[in-house]
Structure 1
Amino acid sequence: MGDKANAHTGAAGRATAADHPASVRNVGLVGHSGSGKTTLVEALALTAGAVNRAGRVEDGGTVSDYDEIEHRQHRSVQLSLVPVDWDGVKINLLDTPGYADFVGELRAGLRAADAALFVISASDGVDGSTRMVWDECAAVGMPRALVITHLDGSRADFDEMTRVCADAFGGDDPDAVLPLYLPLHGAHGSDGHTPVTGLTGLLTQKLFDYSSGERKESEPGPDQQPLIDEARNRLIEGIIAESEDETLMDRYLGGEEIELGTLIKDLERAVARGTFFPVLAAAPATDGGRQGLGTVELLELVKGGFPTPLEREALAVTTPDGKPRELALCDPDGPLVAEVVKTSSDPYVGRVSLVRVFSGTLHPDDTVHVSGHGLADRGHEDHDVDERIGALSAPFGKQQRSLSHCIAGDLASVAKLNRAETGDTLSAKDDPLLMQPWEMPDPLLPLAIQAHSKADEDKLSQGLARLVAEDPTMRLEQNQDTHQVVLWCLGEAHADVALERLRSRYGVQVDVVPYKVSLRETFAGRSAGRGRHVKQSGGHGQYAICEIEVEPLPGGSGVEFVDKVVGGAVPRQFIPSVEKGVRAQAARGVALGHPIVDIRITLLDGKAHSVDSSDAAFQTAGALALREAAAGTTIHLLEPVAEVSVLVGDDYVGAVMSDLSGRRGRVLGTEQTSGGRTLVRAEVPEIEIGRYAVDLRSLSHGTARFSRSYARHEPMPPQLAAKVRQQAQEAS
């Protein structure tokens, strides 16, 4: 591994349909925003010969020509696939967004990948969100490697960053995170900085010089050997510690020189098992050179050390009615099981689905069964339909290169799947199957919107439906209490992208309006009311009189109706009419238009007319009686209270608890969890946590997560209630 300078040129690096799962590698690139993932993907494509020296594909675009929003915001906002060929192996490079708001795209990329390449900036180090993703990969045993970028920065220090990575990711065994190569530095520049011009292979003990734009191999000098020996010995010990050959360590400690081939094979097996995490260095060429520093070494690691799809543990598969189904692991001849990991819209071909095939083989024009994913609560309907797919292709920038098929273990873009959404399963129409979906992050930032104009209003519903079909991390809510259309997002950047896509992709201009929580009203004390609805207009009149008493009930009681009429003052057939009238008025509210809850309404007396009384008349009288009763007492405003659970690093527990208290929250308790984190449980008024998704990220430097659920409604403090009433009066 790492001593081969591959001479791919031109079409040699263009990935086509794979013929066997053993010749496929699926790699997810992970790292914080700005760590250099997309630039590294372009450099790997250049070295593999998938693009020309200027980094251009055949149509003149680049591999990063994915989305116009990404170009404007100068950051990745969606999962992108770049397939390349390296020495007979098809490598699917899955470039994931690094910004926390797009963690849904990140998780989709990890679902499609069989190994993860963590990209760490030597200038910025390891942030909290990267640690969290590492833990997620560790939980499922995903193989990982690290590549350190931005080595030309003024603060860049490869050795120090390797130590930081070992501390952050090594856990109890920091020797599981060790470099395979050491940087070679050139002459001092005028600014005192020594640029990285090549790499030293610790196993091969070879120097690889990239200074000319082409990778050149040479032998180390006498002055370099001591440094190589020290790092090489530690690396060999780390590899042998993971070896399945228990005699290897004794032989090594006894002075035996272990064969290079044995070390490389043990290294590759340890990486594929997810027990050893090599560290590499990379610096994309900036002068149009053929190869960026470290790109050959990375491609060789992916080819030799990362697992094939055949080595991935099988995912749970059931029939649509939930019966488990056993499948052979990654069999191209087995039953078709594929999953939509990304959905996007193309202005020319319509909806395009990025699909990972786990079993069987997918062909153009196949009729497949689409099974739903159970995200109806987010505006994504369940699916159980047959669809005929269109063409298969391999995405590359703005190009789509046609594929004749897509076997188990490979990925492809599928056109014309008009019903399938991200997370759906594709299977044979006569043998429908369903994969267990991956965990989607819960969107917790509300964005209330309304159409900008009448023309936008006509297009809003369709635009929103298409928007949420592409993004399962977004939830669409039509709030019946506040009459608002609410998009629940993961953060401000996520919300900005949603608004931009509505405008530019679907032609819908919307205005953002203040988000409203669902308030309630209740009676402060006992009160009575009389409803009189008597009208005579010559002909059939209207006559209904009822007298009620209203009393408050404990929270959560709802609205009770009690009939205590005696003597037939209100005929029995009209008592349900009174109840219907008071309940309808309670739903409309009596003070600010919020529903009334937690009251008992007792019908005491009334009057009727043998001819003019009617169901409608007594409904109206009941509503009038409740309004009169409300005028005779104080109406309290109730606000919703949420149960909030915050998982935060121990260093930020105090700040989080103080912040919750400042939001009128009541901390219920704390609980220690693994990984030096604490679970803080609290009850907080929902009006205080509208932006908590954003504020908590800032407070914890992106390391905390929280969940929320409705608990109950409670009386709003008088000063806040007065402010709400004043705002309502000003708006009316």
Structure 2
Amino acid sequence: MKVYKTSEIRNAALIGGAKSGKTTMAEAMLLEGKVISRKGAIEDKNTVSDYKPIEQEREHSVHSVLLHTFYDNKKINLLDVPGFADYVGETIATLNVTDTALLLVNTQAGVEATTETAWRQTVAANSPVVFVMNQLDHHAANFDDAVNSVKDYFGDKVTIVQYPVNTGENFDTIIDLVLMKQLKYKAGGGEPEISDIPEAEMAKAEELQLKLIENAAEGDEALMEKYFENDTLTIDEMREGLRLGLITRAIFPVMVSSAKQGVGVSRLLDFISKSCPAPDDMPSRKTTDGKEFHCSIDEPPALFIFKTSIEQHLGEVSYFKVYGGEISEGMDMINPRTGNKERITQLFALNGKSRDKIEKVEAGDIVSTIKLKDVQTGDTLLDPKNADAGFEPFTLPNPLYTVAIKAVNSADDEKLGTLLNEMHKTDPSLGIEFSRELKQLLIKSQGEFHVNTVKWYLTKANGLEVEIFVPKVPYRETITKIADASYRHKKQSGGSGQFGEVHMRIQPYVEGYKKPTDFPVRGTEEHDLPWGGKLIFNNCIVGGAIDARFMPAIMKGIMERMTEGPLTGSYARDIIVYVYDG
């Protein structure tokens, strides 16, 4: 494969709700770019994206997959992302490195809950968005209702660039408002037959094109002047306005398609090539020391690892975007998180599980490597001469659904821990924690789908029998009334031995509590406990009954005892202790 320059690269994420047609769109794009000779189908379990057994069994994507196709002498990197909200971590990681989000909308349903979830992630990532109104070949497709729902939810920046002439099973014709032409597709896709817009559609097309031109010109002063002078924009000027508007999220173009039939796919690739931003068009990325790093061949070599997978016969695969310079095989780089040197042994351009070996890549490209020693998702690798600070990592959401898990056979406990740690490495949104309080191994996930995915890998892929169940309730204990207590600590070291004795009063902590009057309080320490609540520790010793040097040890002993209360073994909280004699 040739080395593509930054200006020749486009990076697009395929996002949207489940069953909106993302994987089918990926197949159609690969076919148009002549990367594959025959389009696969989800029901036939032969798509390039869904190559893992769990995806073929369930007939939906579980992991984001890196693909690439070619159009107009450009390399278009695609990341096909799962649609279920439980896999939101994949969406966040993908939007962190792509330069355009293709948000697919099922035109039978319009905006769905998962469409909104995907949109929120584009807002958080400040990603350019192109809405792709898909599945217009379905008998229940309704373009007008679907696009109106998009405008209702996401505002008047949503701008129609194409609309269908006919929808349903015979869908094959599109009006394109940039080209101001009618595009008619043959069955199976390919390049359309281009003709003048029919008279019956001209008034509608002119009205919609006027809105498109106004929105495209609005974000750029030079384009606005040209629009005022000429009452229109040329095709190239419209493309420039769309590109600038996408970068600043001032415009959200609407394209139309049937990925299944290949209708509109070639024009979508053309739009990505000519109107969507190149990597060096995008804003600079911040480093951990607050500096700005622009994606450019002129910057020092730098890459960001946004995904890790473990593949059979390969081991750990690191997916990364090049942000600076040129990365080549044999190059040594520094991981600023660890300070360790890492060698780039091999480089691959991926299409699912298919790998094309390459010798080098330039800034903006997204590829993979293997055999890195000590890296994780979110790491940066830098040129050794410029290895001060890495890129800011992306932030994943807090877990929403926690379950406990254990191996049916206790002999498999170690294997269970190893497999769960591997899953966390490949999916950082999945939290694994052993609760000392509950004495249970916990999976902290984004939802039930997420947990079921974990169970599938453990049981079906690794033959491990596990039980998944509701975690114990993390109870807390406290006292309800004042009590006196004493403790004698004996130390035998040959001879008569030694002992230390402590006399305490214990009282429930409440706001505005009353202090005792039968002994003085010489010093008070207030501690916020890690498990919630407070410990108020009071030194009431007079006359040197207990040497002040022993007070920290006494408090440490009290704190340790509070980690396991007498009733249920739960943490104790909200207690006041007065040490008054010894």
Q: TM-score, normalised by structure 2?
A: 0.84
| 1:156-195 Cα shifts (integer Å, max 9, x gaps) | 11233222223322x2x35x5113242345xxxxxxx652
| 1:233-263 Cα shifts (integer Å, max 9, x gaps) | 321342144323334444555xxx8655554
Relative to structure 1, the CA distance from residue 504 to residue 394 in structure 2 (aligned partners, 3 Å threshold; closer, same or farther) is farther
Contact preservation (8 Å) 2:285, 2:292: no
CA distance in 1 between partners of 2:329 and 2:315 (Å): 16
Q: Which has the greater radius of gyration?
A: 1
Structure 2 residue aligned with 1:130: 115
Structure 1 residue aligned with 2:534: 557
Q: Structure 1 counterpart of 2:367, which letter? A: A
1:126 CA displacement: 0.6
**305, 322, 335: which is aligned to 2:300?**
335
1:479 matched to 2:435 = yes
Contact preservation (8 Å) 2:172, 2:186: yes
| 1:504-560 Cα shifts (integer Å, max 9, x gaps) | 556654322432344332221112346689999x99789887664432233743153
1:141 CA displacement: 4.9
Structure 1 residue aligned with 2:522: none
1:348 matched to 2:313 = yes
Structure 1 residue aligned with 2:287: 317
1:599 CA displacement: 2.9
Structure 2 residue aligned with 1:408: 363
Contact preservation (8 Å) 1:46, 1:55: no
Structure 1 residue aligned with 2:56: 71
Aligned-pair identity in percent equals 28
Q: Structure 2 counterpart of 1:279, which letter? A: V
CA distance in 2 between partners of 1:355 and 1:124 (Å): 35
Structure 2 residue aligned with 1:615: none
Structure 1 residue aligned with 2:529: none
Relative to structure 1, the CA distance from residue 593 to residue 162 in structure 2 (aligned partners, 3 Å threshold; closer, same or farther) is closer
Contact preservation (8 Å) 1:241, 1:249: no
Structure 2 residue aligned with 1:591: 567
Relative to structure 1, the CA distance from residue 61 to residue 161 in structure 2 (aligned partners, 3 Å threshold; closer, same or farther) is closer
CA distance in 2 between partners of 1:396 and 1:94 (Å): 10
Contact preservation (8 Å) 1:17, 1:404: no
1:182 matched to 2:164 = yes
1:62 matched to 2:47 = yes
Relative to structure 1, the CA distance from residue 365 to residue 85 in structure 2 (aligned partners, 3 Å threshold; closer, same or farther) is same
CA distance in 2 between partners of 1:586 and 1:275 (Å): 57
Structure 1 residue aligned with 2:323: 358
1:493 matched to 2:463 = no
| 1:177-232 Cα shifts (integer Å, max 9, x gaps) | 113242345xxxxxxx65212323343323323247554515358xx423233223
SS at match of 1:355: strand
Q: Structure 1 counterpart of 2:161, which letter? A: P
CA distance in 2 between partners of 1:271 and 1:597 (Å): 54
Contact preservation (8 Å) 1:456, 1:510: no
Q: Structure 2 counterpart of 1:485, which letter? A: L
1:236 matched to 2:210 = yes
Structure 1 residue aligned with 2:386: 431
Relative to structure 1, the CA distance from residue 260 to residue 311 in structure 2 (aligned partners, 3 Å threshold; closer, same or farther) is closer
| 1:641-672 Cα shifts (integer Å, max 9, x gaps) | xxxxxxxxxxxxxxxxxxxxxxxxxxxxxxxx
1:302 matched to 2:272 = yes
CA distance in 2 between partners of 1:389 and 1:506 (Å): 30
Structure 1 residue aligned with 2:374: 419
CA distance in 1 between partners of 2:420 and 2:249 (Å): 41
Aligned length: 551
Contact preservation (8 Å) 1:357, 1:411: yes
Relative to structure 1, the CA distance from residue 431 to residue 544 in structure 2 (aligned partners, 3 Å threshold; closer, same or farther) is closer
1:246 matched to 2:224 = yes
Contact preservation (8 Å) 1:239, 1:267: no
Relative to structure 1, the CA distance from residue 595 to residue 225 in structure 2 (aligned partners, 3 Å threshold; closer, same or farther) is same
CA distance in 2 between partners of 1:461 and 1:283 (Å): 44
Contact preservation (8 Å) 2:189, 2:266: no
Q: TM-score, normalised by structure 1?
A: 0.68
1:388 CA displacement: 2.0
Q: Structure 1 counterpart of 2:92, which letter? A: R
**474, 479, 486: which is aligned to 1:523?**
479
Between 539-548 and 101-110, report the one with greater CA deviation.
539-548
1:448 matched to 2:425 = no
CA distance in 1 between partners of 2:490 and 2:211 (Å): 97
Structure 2 residue aligned with 1:275: 250
Q: Structure 1 counterpart of 2:301, which letter? A: L
Structure 2 residue aligned with 1:207: 183
SS at match of 2:57: helix
Relative to structure 1, the CA distance from residue 355 to residue 240 in structure 2 (aligned partners, 3 Å threshold; closer, same or farther) is same
Relative to structure 1, the CA distance from residue 605 to residue 115 in structure 2 (aligned partners, 3 Å threshold; closer, same or farther) is closer
Relative to structure 1, the CA distance from residue 481 to residue 20 in structure 2 (aligned partners, 3 Å threshold; closer, same or farther) is same
Q: Structure 2 counterpart of 1:179, which letter? A: V
1:226 matched to 2:200 = yes
CA distance in 2 between partners of 1:183 and 1:473 (Å): 43
Contact preservation (8 Å) 2:404, 2:470: yes
SS at match of 1:358: strand
1:114 CA displacement: 0.7
Contact preservation (8 Å) 2:39, 2:47: no
Contact preservation (8 Å) 2:95, 2:125: no
Structure 2 residue aligned with 1:158: 143
Q: Structure 2 counterpart of 1:196, which letter? A: F
What does residue range 381-392 of structure 1 map to in structure 2 within 5 Å?
A: 383-392=338-347
CA distance in 2 between partners of 1:143 and 1:534 (Å): 71
Relative to structure 1, the CA distance from residue 554 to residue 281 in structure 2 (aligned partners, 3 Å threshold; closer, same or farther) is same
1:149 matched to 2:134 = yes
1:299 CA displacement: 0.7
CA distance in 1 between partners of 2:49 and 2:31 (Å): 12
CA distance in 2 between partners of 1:580 and 1:274 (Å): 56
| 1:23-60 Cα shifts (integer Å, max 9, x gaps) | 0000111211111111111111111111112549xxx9
Relative to structure 1, the CA distance from residue 572 to residue 247 in structure 2 (aligned partners, 3 Å threshold; closer, same or farther) is closer
CA distance in 2 between partners of 1:543 and 1:46 (Å): 83
Relative to structure 1, the CA distance from residue 552 to residue 85 in structure 2 (aligned partners, 3 Å threshold; closer, same or farther) is same
Q: Structure 1 counterpart of 2:451, which letter? A: A
1:498 CA displacement: 2.6
Contact preservation (8 Å) 1:528, 1:550: yes
**Structure 1 segments unaligned to the other structure (5+ residues):** 1-15, 186-192, 287-291, 373-382, 607-732
SS at match of 1:217: strand
CA RMSD of aligned residues (A): 3.4
CA distance in 2 between partners of 1:530 and 1:207 (Å): 90
Relative to structure 1, the CA distance from residue 588 to residue 332 in structure 2 (aligned partners, 3 Å threshold; closer, same or farther) is same
CA distance in 1 between partners of 2:174 and 2:555 (Å): 83
